[in-house]
């Protein structure tokens, strides 16, 4: 099978109805495995959370983005309390059902091309289609790990998740008030079951946020087209494993038994530093 090399991830993107189907299915599975779980069970991928915390987190996330799509193109209110967290686990489950259904309904009723607020550079409803599909996927994995009932991740969605994690969650185009300084290395991520390769260039982000006054001098990366040179390092594995690894859901000792790394260790370490902060 030939290898597809992505430039800005075009070959990993799904059709919008597919993203919506994944939100439905993974939210349903998330709810299913948490239904009979002890609310106090720790979440392996988010050690500070219990099963009840995880349930409430995705409830809040899906509630927020349902509201954001509903109020488009206006930005969501910056002030004011969010929904109150129920104390009983059964009520948490019922609230999740309500808020998750609202997200699906709002997305289904909107045109993905509609302008809508988002913290990511692309300000469309379609951005929420994609982001919420990956949010549901990873938190479904959290729920399954918590309940001890892990099932395979969809490899096509996971391949897009690798690109989305690199290009949106950890990297991407800097805001106008900042700049990206590329490092010397290119790293290629090979998704062996999908025949897809994604190239990343670790570097650093520098700038001062004019609103908060906060100064940033942080590791960063960008997804880039394949250069006219071999990669300094290659990370290879199944799409689901690479996606879960980027989200810090595979544990510490995955290089070797699950993922393979070849090439310059400094290049690999630069990418690892850029994705070192755990994402909830």
Closest to 231 (Cα-Cα) out of 186, 181, 189, 177: 186
Q: What is the mean pLDDT of residues 47-70?
A: 97
Contact 271, 250 (CB under 8 A): no
pLDDT band for position 1 (cuts 50, 70, 90): very low
Q: Which parts of 119-164 fold into alpha helices (H)? A: 125-147, 155-164
Q: How many residues does the chain have?
A: 280
Model confidence at 252: pLDDT above 90: no
- Whole-model pTM: value is 0.93
Arithmetic mean of pLDDT over the chain: 93
Spatial separation of the C-alpha atoms in residues 277 and 272, rounded to whole Å:
9
Model confidence at 146: pLDDT above 60: yes
Identify the pLDDT of residue 62.
Answer: 97
Phi, psi of 219 (to 5 degrees): -60, 145
Beta strand 196-208 pairing with 178-182: antiparallel
Identify the pLDDT of residue 9.
Answer: 44
Identify the pLDDT of residue 78.
Answer: 73
pLDDT band for position 39 (cuts 50, 70, 90): very high
Identify the pLDDT of residue 59.
Answer: 97
Per residue, what are the HEC states of 263-274? ECHHHHHHHHHH
Of all residues in the chain, what percent carry a pLDDT higher than 70?
95
Burial 191-224 (b: 16+ CB within 10 A, else e): bbbbebbbbbbbbbbebeeeeeeeeeeebbbbbb
Beta strand 187-191 pairing with 233-237: parallel
Q: Which parts of the chain fold into alpha helices (H)? A: 16-35, 51-70, 89-109, 125-147, 155-164, 239-246, 265-274
Identify the pLDDT of residue 172.
Answer: 87
Please write the tens of the pLDDT for every residue from 114-134.
999 999 989 999 999 999 999
Q: What is the mean pLDDT of residues 34-60?
A: 97
| Token pair in block for residue 136 | 């549901």
The sign of the dihedral angle between the CA atoms of 51, 52, 55, 60 is negative
Q: What is the mean pLDDT of residues 142-154?
A: 97
pLDDT band for position 4 (cuts 50, 70, 90): low
Of all residues in the chain, what percent carry a pLDDT higher than 90?
86
pLDDT band for position 3 (cuts 50, 70, 90): low
Model confidence at 6: pLDDT above 90: no
Identify the pLDDT of residue 7.
Answer: 45
Spatial separation of the C-alpha atoms in residues 261 and 128, rounded to whole Å:
32
Identify the pLDDT of residue 83.
Answer: 76
């Amino acid at each position: 099978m030939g290898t597809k090399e992505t430039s800005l991830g075009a070959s990993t993107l799904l059709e919008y109805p597919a993203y919506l189907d994944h939100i439905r299915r993974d939210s349903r599975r998330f709810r299913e495995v948490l239904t009979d779980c002890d609310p106090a069970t720790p979440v392996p991928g988010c050690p500070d959370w219990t099963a009840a915390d995880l349930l409430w987190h995705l409830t809040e996330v899906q509630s927020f983005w349902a509201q954001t799509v509903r109020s488009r193109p206006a930005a969501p209110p910056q002030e004011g309390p969010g929904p109150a967290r129920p104390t009983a686990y059964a009520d948490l489950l019922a609230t999740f059902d309500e808020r998750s259904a609202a997200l699906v309904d709002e997305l289904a009723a909107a045109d993905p091309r509609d302008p809508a607020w988002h913290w990511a550079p692309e300000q469309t409803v379609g951005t929420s289609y994609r982001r919420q599909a990956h949010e549901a996927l990873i938190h479904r994995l959290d729920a399954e790990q918590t309940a001890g009932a892990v099932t395979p991740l969809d490899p096509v969605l996971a391949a897009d998740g690798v690109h989305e994690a690199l290009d949106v969650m950890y990297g991407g185009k800097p805001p106008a008030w900042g700049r990206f300084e590329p490092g010397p290395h290119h790293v290629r991520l090979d998704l062996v079951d999908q025949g897809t390769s994604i190239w990343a260039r670790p570097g650093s982000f520098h700038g001062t946020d004019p609103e908060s006054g906060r100064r940033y001098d942080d590791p960063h990366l960008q997804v880039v087209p394949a250069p006219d040179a071999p990669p300094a390092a290659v990370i290879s594995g199944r799409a689901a494993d690479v996606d879960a690894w980027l989200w810090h859901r595979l544990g510490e000792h995955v290089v070797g038994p699950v993922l393979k790394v070849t090439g310059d260790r400094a290049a690999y370490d630069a990418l690892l530093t850029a994705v070192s902060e755990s994402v909830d």
